[in-house]
Amino acid sequence: MKNFVVKTIANAGALAVAIWLIGNITLEGGSTGRKALTLILVALIFGLVNSVVKPVVQLLTFPLFILTLGLITLVVNALMLLLTSWLADVVDLSFHVEGFWTAVLGGLIISVVSWALNVVLPDEN
């Protein structure tokens, strides 16, 4: 359970950095508390997408992974971010990613920040 909480916090932090750095990734809401709650809920959706959908997509794109020497991972991460944005819209959360190239850059930032946060934060079960 603690590992799940740590990964959710890392995802929320990585999403917050992407929102802060990229103008076309937006998180709207009223107060700071409302934005924080929305960010945590979006991080939960992002974690769910990455744990359920991403392995299937990676398996299907494995030949492209070999062919592009791993660069297809950027596209897969972008698609996962766009799917998260769409699902957030479906459940009426105010998180939006504007366009594919924004998602590619956002996915890159989220990957780097999430990796760094997972290195720093404790990883106990």
DSSP H or E stretch at residue 25: strand 25-27
- Closest to 27 in 3D by CA, of 14, 42, 13, 45: 42
47 close to 76: Cβ distance less than 8 angstroms: no
- Closest to 16 in 3D by CA, of 103, 109, 91, 88: 109
Predicted model pTM: 0.88
Q: 84-125 pLDDT, tens per residue?
A: 999 999 999 999 999 999 999 999 999 899 888 878 876 665
Mean pLDDT of 34-60: 91
Domain ranges of the chain: 1-124
